[in-house]
A and B are shown apart, each in its own frame.
Chain A
Amino acid sequence: MNNLIVLPLIIPIITAVVLVFLRDQIVLQRIISFVTMGFVCIVSFILLNIVQTEGIIRLDFSGWMPPFGILFVADSFSLLLVLTSSIVTLICLLYAFSMMGQRYEKMFFYPFVLFLVAGVNGSFLTGDIFNLFVCFEVMLLASYVLVAFGGGKRQLRESLKYVLINVVASWMFLVALAFLYGSVKTLNMAHIAQRVAEVGQDPLITTVAILFLIVFSLKAGLLLFFWLPGSYSVPPTVVQALFAALLTKVGIYALIRTFTLMFPLQQEVTHTIIGIMAGLTIIAGCMGALAGRDVYTIATYNVIIGTGFILIGLAVGTESAMAGAIYYLIHDIVAKALLFLLIGMMIYLTGETVVKKMSGLIQIYPIFGWIYFILMLALAGIPPFSGFIGKVLIGQGAIEAHSYILLALGFASSIIVLYSLLRIFLASFFGETTISPEDKKPIPKGAYTSFILLAISIIYLGIGAESIAVYVKDAAETLMNPSIYIDAILKG
């Protein structure tokens, strides 16, 4: 028992509710939400280190022993993601303080961000698959509100699509849960894994697994990403950054957890499908990123390419590929947040979304331009930045498993990512400036701080990869050997 595990979920919820009462005190809201996220970061860091010494820890709610009660499980994989997403949210809040505007801040912006974080952290930490559904819903309900933020015509149109698709996906999630419960009579993830291993993964269970695959693919933007470019380009910049950083990653986490822990036995069916879907996602994402004329399209399709690339790691399924997928997942959370924040700032500065209509930004805002340059190199996977190590490890795994097509697609996508981002860099940052000295807007300090902090994180993840290697190694080992996870839950 360790009550610390539940804090990343419950602290944001409680403070979010408190903030509802402080609707008009914006400064107080900012301070409280910032302190809350800082606290969550510290707690998850402490937990991560506890897990290194004590192994996987769990918390049985109100003392009901597994497999009967609901529980939270903390292993290195989930805690790495909780820590990364909490840090990114903390930094995004800094951007929000200076850029959000009072009108939005009074419309319960901070409470909903905190609810979103609570749902995301809960999804990472839960050890019960129905509880995963509940945490997904907490996260989605908050995201429904955040997508519609602003209440303009575009927001309402896209949020309607977003809500409909997610409601359908949630319904399918419930159906899949019902089938699963009907066939294995349990909802505890470790217990499901044990039962599936005992009876063997028969065709019915594999079908249920594929149903889960469809549900999580919809959330992660794996092949079923048709809703993503629209709904990620309408909300305010901070919300976009949070969505790109967190929401699809929860889907990816659920996919990795489901197919390494619960349904790992029919790999020639499930993992082949995941591999094909990942390949097609990358191809489609690259086409979108190449065809895009405005920065939003290019950025949203880059999110899709990232998803495809991480899931190559799962499809290949060797230990080094898993480690690569975890590294890349962490990198992608940070880098995609920064990408959307930078793009939002470009649009704020120039008032344009089309790449060719912006020019010469680096002359006026040199640091801003160079941060974009660093980000571009990191996303393309050039050392010494954060994307490199993940790409190398996934590539190594693909070679070990002889998946040369996925390997080629993965590395070709790096070039396309580089090209699509370089196009923005050449057209919008280089060249003669189109902004006259009178129209020149300063970049607010809060926004600058958030850019610099995220850029430092990217450099740290690249150069300091060694320092997080021990956590990633432990996480990959647990993913590859589900028995470690199962024993930690059911024995003891």
Chain B
Amino acid sequence: MKINDVILRTVVKGVIFIILTLGVYLFFSGHNAPGGGFIGGLVLGSAIVLLYITYDLETVHKKMPFDFKKVAALGVLLATGTAVGSILFDAPFLSQTDGYFNIPILGEKHLTTVTIFEAGVALTVIGTLVTIILSIGEDE
């Protein structure tokens, strides 16, 4: 059966950028304000799920040929990697560090290793969320 979903497809094409932008914004704002890797990851993951709902599995797979299980694994690896990294500098496990750097054009920015950890969290959340939804969706 062919469903007429012109409105959904058209709206999603616009909305998806708003959601993805919001997700990235939440991710970066998390350092000093509400947000962070988990919430950012949830929003980004929901954007991907929305794509899967609007278009079919094959179309999305063609454009995003990721195995989301491996995305989640990569996320855990990144997060545990930064945690273990502190051991190499002889600091207590999970220690994080930060500093102010002068970057051309952007000006002075506050960079932290927590961001890498949070990126790991975000990837794990995206990977797990999409894997769960896909395995429910694929099961006929």
Contact = CB atoms under 8 A, between A and B. Distances in A.
Interface of A: 1, 3, 6, 10, 13-14, 17-18, 20-21, 59-63
B70 A21 contact: yes
B80 A6 contact: no
B92 A20 contact: no
B73 A17 contact: yes
Contacts, number: 43
B16 interface: no
Nearest to A14: B80
19 contacts: A3-B92, A10-B80, A10-B83, A10-B84, A10-B93, A14-B77, A14-B84, A17-B80, A20-B70, A20-B73, A21-B73, A59-B93, A60-B92, A61-B92, A61-B94, A62-B92, A62-B95, A62-B96, A63-B95
B86 A17 contact: no
In the A-B complex, the 7 residue pairs with the smallest Cβ-Cβ separation, listed nearest first, are A20-B73, A62-B94, A61-B94, A62-B95, A6-B93, A3-B87, A17-B76
A361 B86 CA distance: 55
Query: Which of A1, A14, A17 has the most B CB atoms < 10 Å from its CB?
Result: A17
A275 B115 CA distance: 51
Nearest to B72: A20
* Size bracket of the B interface: 10 to 19
A105 B76 CA distance: 21
Given A20-B70, A62-B86, A13 B76 contact: yes
Nearest to A11: B84
A61 B73 contact: no
A10 B87 CA distance: 12
Contacts of B73: 17, 20-21
A3 B86 CA distance: 9
Given A3-B92, A17-B73, A17-B80, 18 more contacts: A1-B92, A3-B87, A3-B90, A3-B93, A10-B80, A10-B84, A10-B93, A14-B84, A17-B76, A17-B77, A20-B69, A59-B93, A61-B92, A61-B93, A61-B94, A62-B91, A62-B94, A63-B95
Nearest to B81: A14
Contacts of A59: 92-93
B70 A13 contact: no
Interface string B59-85: 000000000011001001100110110
A18 B84 contact: no
A58 to B, nearest CB: 10
A138 B35 CA distance: 25
B80 to A, nearest CB: 5
Nearest to A3: B87
B137 to A, nearest CB: 19
A62 B95 CA distance: 4
A59 B86 CA distance: 13
Nearest to B77: A17
Given A14-B80, A17-B76, A17-B77, A62 B70 contact: no
Contact of B93 (A13, A14, A62): A62
A21 B86 CA distance: 24
A441 to B, nearest CB: 36
A13 B92 contact: no
Interface in B74-129: 76-77, 80-81, 83-84, 86-87, 90-96
Nearest to B91: A63
A17 B77 CA distance: 7
Contacts of B93: 3, 6, 10, 59, 61-62
Contacts of B90: 3
Query: Which of B80, B84, B92 has the most A CB atoms < 10 Å from its CB?
Result: B92
A49 to B, nearest CB: 20
A295 B96 CA distance: 53
A286 B83 CA distance: 47
B122 to A, nearest CB: 16
Contacts of A3: 87, 90, 92-93
A62 B84 CA distance: 11
A470 B56 CA distance: 65
Contact of B92 (A14, A17, A18, A63): A63
Query: Which of B69, B90, B93, B95 has the most A CB atoms < 10 Å from its CB?
Result: B93
B114 to A, nearest CB: 10
Contacts of A63: 91-92, 95
Nearest to B75: A17
Nearest to A70: B94
A59 B96 CA distance: 15
Contacts of A61: 92-94
B50 to A, nearest CB: 26
A7 B77 CA distance: 15
A10 B77 CA distance: 11
A100 to B, nearest CB: 21
B3 to A, nearest CB: 33
